[in-house]
Chain A
Amino acid sequence: MRQQVIKLKVGKLESKGVAKIWRINKSNIKKRLVMRAVVEEGGYLEMKGKIVIGKNIADVDVFLEQRVLLMGVGARAVVIPELEIESNEVKAGHATSVGQIDQEQLFYLTSRGLTRELAVKLLIEAFLA
């Protein structure tokens, strides 16, 4: 499945926005759209992803994934995944999650001797890879 990825980092006290509309106008499309962002302390992110599938389209399988990591005090995000579907021979979906660094993953790395800063840095890199 073809994948399109948008990655974003919102630094301390920064404000950033990203909006993408995918219009599917032909049949026979299989695509995965990924939007990932890390928001640091005090940062603000607006992330909007919209999939529009018109009439008389067939054989389409599209999925939008949006994941945001809030990294510190004051990090905020507004995430809006939208779907407008007018054909039924299609499969469309999205999954959004806004959260923090996985504590188990963090523990795993630090228990191997990595400092917390380094562990966090590696996890963010992995998230945005």
Chain B
Amino acid sequence: MLKIGNLEVKIEGKKVLAGLNLEIKDGEVVAVMGPNGSGKSTLAYTLAGKYPNTGKILWNKNDISDLKPEERAHLGIFLANQSPVAIPGLSVNRFLWNLYKVRKVESPKSLGVMEFRKWIEKKVENLGIGGELLKRGLNDGFSGGERKKMEILQMLVLEPKLVILDEIDSGLDVDALKRVTQVVVDEVKNRKMAVLVITHYSRILKYLKPDRVAILKAGKIERTGGWELTEEIERDGYEK
């Protein structure tokens, strides 16, 4: 359960998040929509630990504001990046295997290398990713859509408690969007995973139905509501 209280983030002297409040319970899908420059990506990165903040970020009642990125990952927080970086030479297979080990699933149920490979191959098929990508360097020369799917693949390996989807819809065609959202929906259902969907357009929310919608403007949550808010945005845009 995530509770953000009065979150303020300054980047290069400028206040990008100016007192943001938001709550997400286990198993909830919360959409944060906003125009360009409203602070959407900053919110995503701040939760992942890239920028320092004032205010509180409570994760299961503990303030994680001072925790390092890897510590937050160990708590089960996962950021699906908007433009994932490439790490040439680090093969996807090897990377995913290391991720699996990081999860520290040291139990008789944990998979050996070959079983893990087979498991990955199945997931890769579900997501509509070409198998050859697994042998290549992570995101090295991958299209935008392929990179986004890689993020979701990693999410499946890490089984996080909260996933932040930072504009995952941009650059995905309808087929890809359907596959990706289906995978997320299944995780929500099976594991009560919480989802923070950050988006500019409402298209993705047709497939990944939010329990609540929040509008982010000028670094703050301006208002919250239900599905009707997305229809309003679609009709009138963000200017009001």
Contact present between A and B (CB < 8 A): no
Q: Which residues of B contact A (CB under 8 A)?
A: none
Q: Which residues of A contact B (CB under 8 A)?
A: none
